[in-house]
Amino acid sequence: MARSKFNSTPVIQINLGKRITAANSLFKELKLNQLCLIQEPVIRNNKMCNVPTSHKQFVPHTSGRARVAALLPKELAKSTMVLGKFNSADSIVLRVKLSKDITLLLASIYMDITSDIPSGLLTRLSTYAETERLPLIVGADTNAHHTAWGHLTCNSRGRELLQALNANNLVLCNTGNTPTFFGRLGHSVIDITLTNTLGINLLRNWRVNSELSLSDHQALTFDLASGTTSSARRSLAKCDWTLYQQLVESHFSRHPFWFQPVASPEDLNARQNFLSQALRSCFETACPITYGLHTSSAQLSSVQAPVTNKFLAKQ
């Protein structure tokens, strides 16, 4: 097998629904080098039971029962610091030295449907990350609906959350509209992964993975680049522009809100966010990565996905 061009760390994000069977299934399948951001874990005496010996658990110390947790390989946990000022029963934030070149913030957040959107927490967290010049990765169960992250409709809670994300320059990593939650009354997309501008080049291969869950929530999986064996860039000269145009047209023709009138400023922001992520995804598919000399992933060059006048004229 050919050696991978990237050294990467796999991550699982999942709401366990406080189900022991879901927790045990996750722990059984957990890989030695895998990180895990958890919402609604099974907590007893401020810890999770049956955690594999290969991993260290991080649970916020609160007066109430914690509804978030994180698992890190023990070796990685040695270079990890808990940022207590951000922690509560519904949030835990870790400062992790992922590799020699990369230190980042990892957060697991649960947004209770009976409580307000934690806009203040998102502001403080994104401000800290910007001040410290650190990539930020957030796994959250939002209990909020918006087309920006793939749900078919929007509610007031979703519009409020999107406004908070835009205000803090947080980027949605979700792609597509595969449901992340299946309940008795139907399915929805309420679990999201967020990053900041410093984390965009670190997070890749995001997807909904139904095979890893015995919960009513699906697992979200992605990789964090922690280094490279060679530098990587996308060459415009090697881009398949015909394929790019076909992908863009196909992507937008399937989206439920694209051809509807703009309803509000929040709706306009959602479409702008969707447009940016859709064009980037199509471009990365049509324009292959090429490799050069050894470097760290922090030095990966990025190319802005182009917006073609021909395409926009059709909308």
Q: Where are the domains of the chain?
A: 6-228, 232-312
pLDDT tens for 217-275 read: 999 999 998 764 444 566 777 788 888 887 787 767 766 655 677 777 777 777 777 77
What's the pLDDT at 5?
45
Contacts of 202 (CB under 8 A, 6+ apart): 102, 104, 135, 137, 195, 224, 225, 297
125 touches 85 (CB < 8 A): no
CATH number among 3.90.1150.10, 1.10.1040.10, 3.40.50.2300, 3.60.10.10, domain 6-228: 3.60.10.10
Answer whether residue 106 shows pLDDT above 80: yes
Of residues 106 and 187, which shows the higher confidence score? 106
What's the pLDDT at 302?
41
Which amino acid is it at 139? G
CA 116/CA 157 separation, integer angstroms:
8
146 touches 159 (CB < 8 A): yes
Could you tell me the pTM of the whole model? 0.74
CA 84/CA 160 separation, integer angstroms:
26
Of residues 101 and 287, which shows the higher confidence score? 101
Average pLDDT, the chain: 83
